Chain A
Amino acid sequence: MENPFKYIDKPLRPVPAELKAKVMSDVATAKLLMELANLFSIDVVKIIEATIAERKKKTN
Chain B
Amino acid sequence: MLNTISDEDLVKTIVKTNDTLLFEILYDRFSQMVYNKCLGFSKDEDEAKDLTQDVFLKLFVKLASFKGKSKFSTWLYAFTYNHCVNYVTRNTQKKIQREFIDIEIAETVEDGEFELYNFHDMKVEKLKKALELIAPEEKMILLLKYQDYLSIKEIEDVLSISESAVKMRLKRAKDKLINVYNNKLIDGESV
* A→B interface (CB under 8 Å): 1-9, 12-16, 19-20, 22-24, 26-28, 30-31, 34-35
| Distance to closest chain B CB from A22 (angstroms) | 6
| Distance to closest chain B CB from A14 (angstroms) | 7
* Docked-complex contact B45 and A30, CB < 8 angstroms: no
| Distance to closest chain B CB from A11 (angstroms) | 9
* Docked-complex contact A9 and B40, CB < 8 angstroms: yes
Q: How long is the Cα–Cα vector from A20 to B147 in the complex, in angstroms?
A: 26
Q: How long is the Cα–Cα vector from A16 to B36 in the complex, in angstroms?
A: 11
**A12 proximity list for chain B (CB < 8 A):** 32, 36
**B20 proximity list for chain A (CB < 8 A):** 24, 27-28, 31
| Distance to closest chain B CB from A19 (angstroms) | 6
* Docked-complex contact B147 and A13, CB < 8 angstroms: no
* Docked-complex contact A7 and B124, CB < 8 angstroms: yes
Q: How long is the Cα–Cα vector from A2 to B117 in the complex, in angstroms?
A: 10
Interface size on B, residues (CB 8 A): 34
Contact of B146 among A3, A9, A23 (CB under 8 A): A3
* Docked-complex contact B39 and A5, CB < 8 angstroms: no
* Docked-complex contact B53 and A19, CB < 8 angstroms: yes
* B→A interface (CB under 8 Å): 18, 20, 23-24, 27, 31-32, 35-37, 39-40, 45, 49, 52-53, 56-57, 60-61, 116, 119-124, 127-128, 131, 142-143, 146-147
Contact of B27 among A5, A23, A30 (CB under 8 A): A23
18 new A-B pairs (CB below 8 Å) besides A8-B124, A23-B56, A31-B60?
Answer: A1-B121, A5-B147, A8-B127, A8-B147, A9-B36, A9-B39, A12-B32, A12-B36, A13-B39, A15-B32, A15-B52, A20-B27, A20-B31, A23-B57, A24-B27, A30-B57, A31-B20, A34-B18
| Distance to closest chain B CB from A10 (angstroms) | 8
**B53 proximity list for chain A (CB < 8 A):** 19, 22-23, 26
Q: How long is the Cα–Cα vector from A14 to B142 in the complex, in angstroms?
A: 24
* Docked-complex contact A27 and B60, CB < 8 angstroms: yes
**B31 proximity list for chain A (CB < 8 A):** 15, 19-20, 23
* Docked-complex contact A4 and B122, CB < 8 angstroms: yes
Q: How long is the Cα–Cα vector from A14 to B60 in the complex, in angstroms?
A: 22
Q: How long is the Cα–Cα vector from A14 to B35 in the complex, in angstroms?
A: 8
**B52 proximity list for chain A (CB < 8 A):** 15, 19, 23
**A1 proximity list for chain B (CB < 8 A):** 116, 120-121
